[in-house]
Chains A and B, each alone.
Chain A
Amino acid sequence: MDLLSLNALLNRYVWGPEMMLAFLAVGLYLTVRTGFVQFSKIGIIFRETLGAIRERTLGAGGEITPFQATMVALGATMGQGNLIGVTAAILIGGPGAVFWMWIAGILGMATKFAEAVLAVHFRQRYADGSVSGGPMFYLSRGLPKGLRWLGGLYALLAALAAFGIGNLTQSSAMAGSLEAAFGVPVGLTGLFVALVAAFILAGGVRRIAAFAQALVPLMLLGFLAAGAYALAIHGAALAGAIAAIFQGAFGAQAAAGGAAGYALQQTLKAGVGRGIFSNEAGLGSAAIAHAQAQVDHPVRQGFWGVIEVFLDTLVVNTVMALIVLASGVWQTATSAPQAFVAAWNFPGGSSVAAIVLALFVFTTLVSWGFYGEEAAGFLFGDGIRWPYRITYIVFAFVGALGGFELLTALADTLNGLMAIPNLLGLVLLGGVVAGLVRGFFRGEPWRPPR
């Protein structure tokens, strides 16, 4: 078996239904262990996060504020998957896929909550006041001795996967989108992306956070405004689109075609897949950003983890899905990129779509640069940071030129593999999360492990 075949096999497994089930099972397990935190504490979660947005510049005991950490994480999670990925899910699974995406997203909230909690709890604090954290730290510091190597494995996978999911894929998508919409040469886009990313990454986590804090909320609001406009244009079809989501959720649509069982399976698979993978809950990547937050208690950062999934999956993905459904393009388009472009087919729509896509993928590229660097730093120490940054920036440039399908495919598999040690760690550390949640809601102070 050659490398390509092996990769294809592994890829099918790590992004396949078995892993999806594992994601859902872990999400359900953590939902139970945390006392259904995403439901029972929903009021507190909103009050502590979006309700306290006025204090976004305040924090304590970390590198960046909780809000900034969330914006870095959100910058990474919001990418092509929220736009073209959602479109593809509807094309494959029909409108009902959106319902299952919501269900998976709701379970993913508990997963992301646990990741953020563990990231802060097990983070490493250095003498200069800086911190590092993420799955590699909670796996290596929190698991029993015999399993601590999982932290190193995770770091290796993340450091390598960053070049694919975070870099080549994003840079290529941005170049393609800007070339199609505005005729910008891909080389020019690559150069621009590389230079700006170099400037941001060179400033370390504080500059990355400042960038994310400024751009991600703007990007989010810009998308929602454009989305509201698009939905207003298709206003007459909106009620029908919403109804189709619920009707399609249990295969009603497919039943008409006479292949109910198969269609339901497709709907579930497409929807759950989007609900899991678009917000990265379970992959552990966002925990690297959450670990940097200045908070008095890990549970408070966990709340931001819930909000991250809420914004990514329940807000952005839903708006995108409604645009695709209300515009009707999902019934006629033959491919997801084609449907995505067609969904924005109104005056100025294609330009807006290109800009939104470009911004989404660029923030992903920057945040993943940080994730990869942190993972590489965990493995090889701080000396690796600059070589890693420079390599990452070179990849950002060449990625725009295209032609790296093999590398991208390999990195995609590595990205999927990241979930295995992380999900295992989340299950084994579920008790720690539960203990921290209990302590927080008893008003007890946080005692970090030694």
Chain B
Amino acid sequence: MLTGNLSDLPFLELLQTLAAGSGGTLRIQAPGVEGTVGFAGRRVVYAEALGLSGMDALVLLTGLRQGRFAYTNEPPQESNLEVPLEAALTDLAGVADAWKKLTHLPEDWSRTLRQAAIRRELELSLDELGVFADAEGKSVAEVLAVPGKVLERARVLDRLFKNQALTTLPSLGVGPITLVALPYYGPQSPVAYVDYALYQRWAEKIGGPFKLKVRSPRGLEASFPVEPREQIPERIMLHDRELRKLRAGRGTKLKVMPEVEDGLTKP
């Protein structure tokens, strides 16, 4: 068995090292990405990563700059590719060069993307606008994992980072969920309440203090400190005035995502 880290032995060099072997399975575990590559003789017969298969998976894995790998002689059980290893290495050499140019992409692909507060005029292409709109709340890996478009998405993301249109937060392992708004009244309070069970689940996963980012169907956003409350499953309770600021009311479906600021907590 051969094990190591991609930060010491990048994916392409790892493939070159394995070219001498007679066959086996390479498993990769990187932040936000898990992948498997199968070899039979000097052929690559299987590649899978984050729902992508074949060359798409290899392209994605080539872009990883960190992550543990383990190679065993266990022959691959499935096949979704039939490429001589030399040909794959040649193709992926170009891909690796392309990845190297994307210097603004974060190394940790598990990080959660956030649209930045843009305070200047910014011209975005249609592609950039599409990714920008789609990225909120997803991990970097999720945005990249589009069949046939991995590198294209990576380039767009890189440009968006370069233009500071996107930022990232540490991954909390919890994606955005939809909760139904329920107002509360009384003295103005910035607190959001969610059901006790949901709060507990988030608190256990996150392991530290967190806030809630709320997005209304009209695209308005706000962050709130969060506290648990009994008897409100599938609901988020916000002060009536805060709900109005979001142009929402009782019954409005809100996208809700826990978030922590960088350095505040252990993700």
Q: A residues touching B (Cβ–Cβ < 8 Å)?
A: 44, 47-48, 51-55, 58, 60-61, 295-296, 440-446
Contact = CB atoms under 8 A, between A and B. Distances in A.
A443 B185 contact: yes
Contacts of A54: 251
Contact of B231 (A53, A61, A443): A61
B-side interface mostly: loop
Interface stretch (B41-49, B153-161, B233-241): B233-241
9 contacts: A44-B240, A47-B249, A51-B249, A52-B250, A55-B180, A58-B180, A58-B234, A60-B235, A296-B182
B189 interface: yes
Interface centre among B184, B231, B235 (most CB of A within 10 A): B231
A67 B148 CA distance: 49
A446 B230 CA distance: 9
Contacts of A44: 185, 240
B231 A446 contact: yes
B136 to A, nearest CB: 24
A444 B184 CA distance: 9
A441 B231 contact: no
Contact of B186 (A58, A60, A442): A442
Contacts of A55: 180, 250-251
Q: Which 5 A-B pairs have the closest CB atoms?
A: A443-B186, A55-B251, A52-B251, A52-B250, A442-B186
Contacts of B195: 60
Nearest to A54: B251
A154 B234 CA distance: 36
B250 A296 contact: no
Interface in B106-157: none
Contact of A442 (B182, B187, B234): B187
A246 B125 CA distance: 66
Nearest to A58: B180
Interface residues of B, number: 22
Interface of B: 180, 182-187, 189, 195, 229-235, 237, 239-240, 249-251
B186 A441 contact: yes
Given A48-B183, A58-B180, A296-B232, 6 more contacts: A47-B183, A47-B249, A51-B249, A296-B237, A441-B185, A443-B185
A444 B230 CA distance: 11
A60 B232 contact: yes
A40 B240 CA distance: 16
A125 to B, nearest CB: 11
A194 to B, nearest CB: 38
A295 B230 CA distance: 11
Nearest to A445: B229
B140 to A, nearest CB: 34
Nearest to A443: B186
Contact of A60 (B183, B233, B249): B233
A443 B187 contact: yes
A400 B189 CA distance: 58
Contacts of B250: 47-48, 51-52, 55
Contacts of B235: 58, 60, 296
B244 to A, nearest CB: 10
Contacts of A441: 185-186
A295 B237 CA distance: 13
A188 B245 CA distance: 58
Contacts of A446: 231
Contacts of B186: 441-444
A294 to B, nearest CB: 8
A47 B184 CA distance: 12
Contacts of B187: 442-443
Contacts of B180: 55, 58
B230 A445 contact: yes
A368 to B, nearest CB: 29
A295 to B, nearest CB: 8
Contacts of B229: 296, 445
B188 to A, nearest CB: 10
A82 to B, nearest CB: 28
A58 B181 CA distance: 11
